[in-house]
Structure 1
Amino acid sequence: MNRNPIIPFILIMVFGIGLVFFMSLEGLNNSEEMAEEHGEGTEETAEGGTAEGGEFDPQAHYEKACITCHGGNYEGGAGPALTGVGDRYSKEEIVEILQEGKGGGMPAGLVPGNEEAMAEWLMEL
């Protein structure tokens, strides 16, 4: 009548591993469906901007990475206001700030490889 207390634990472990395995297979089969849910015809770039054909979209990147510091209407907050930034800085200076950061608040490298496009967009604000 002595029962081995480890057998229920082994059965639960085997069942759990099997469940994880089958759930992962289900996720692999749904990858195309999940991609369609996120917008057919658009690609999300590594930088966070989304545009048709996979091109960098400065507005989308701003909404994803910059809006918390610079505000929804570019009015500033934790960071400075961006309206009229083209009057205060040249395009080259904006690119440099995007690449290297500024002060202690603006981190460097938030727009890797797309600094020129972002700077042009900022100058139009």
Structure 2
Amino acid sequence: MKRNPVIPFAIIAAVGILLVIIISFQGANQRDDIAQQEEGGDAQTEEGQQEDSQEGETTDDPSEVFETNCASCHGADLSGGAGPELVEVGSRLSEDEIYNIIMQGQGSMPGGLVSEEEAQAISTWLLEEQ
């Protein structure tokens, strides 16, 4: 008795199509849940998260903020790495230019990693480090 070599491939294809359909329905349900949460279904939790993040965000020490948010790319000693060297950035850029780069980003650096107050403090600190 001769076997048809197409049957195993047809079974695998049918199982694959069935799995894609099941996963699609599951994803659609998750999308609906996410949309409900964004519309305010979970407003109390969002308010609590905003309060928590605002409480822990600001610090008075710009070198600590730099260490936490910037040193992984620019180096703890400002010598660079994945990001450019910042050793003499104050001699190349003004405080406003440094602030704008921190807030808006530049190149592969995303903007808005720190609050406006922290960005201002880091800008002043970097200007003094020249």
TM range (shorter): 0.5 to 0.7
Q: Is 2:74–2:84's contact at 8 Å kept on the other side of the alignment?
A: yes
Q: Structure 2 residue aligned with 1:116, among 117, 120, 129?
A: 120
Name 2:68's counterpart in structure 1. 64
Q: Is 1:48–1:64's contact at 8 Å kept on the other side of the alignment?
A: no
TM-score (norm 2): 0.53
Higher relative contact order (CA 8 A, sep 6+): 2
TM-aligned CA deviation for residue 45 of structure 1:
5.5
TM-aligned CA deviation for residue 48 of structure 1:
5.9
Task: Report the Cα distance in structure 2 between the residues aligned to 1:60 and 1:113, rounded to whole angstroms.
Answer: 15
C-alpha distance 45-117 of structure 1, shift in aligned 2 (>3 A): farther
Q: Unpaired segments of 5 or more residues in structure 1? A: 1-43, 50-55
Q: Secondary structure of 1:46's match?
A: helix
Larger Rg: 2
Aligned-pair identity in percent equals 43
TM-aligned CA deviation for residue 75 of structure 1:
0.2
RMSD value, Cα: 1.8
Aligned: 1:100 with 2:104: yes
Structure with the largest fraction of helix: 2
Q: Unpaired segments of 5 or more residues in structure 2? A: 1-53
TM-score (norm 1): 0.55
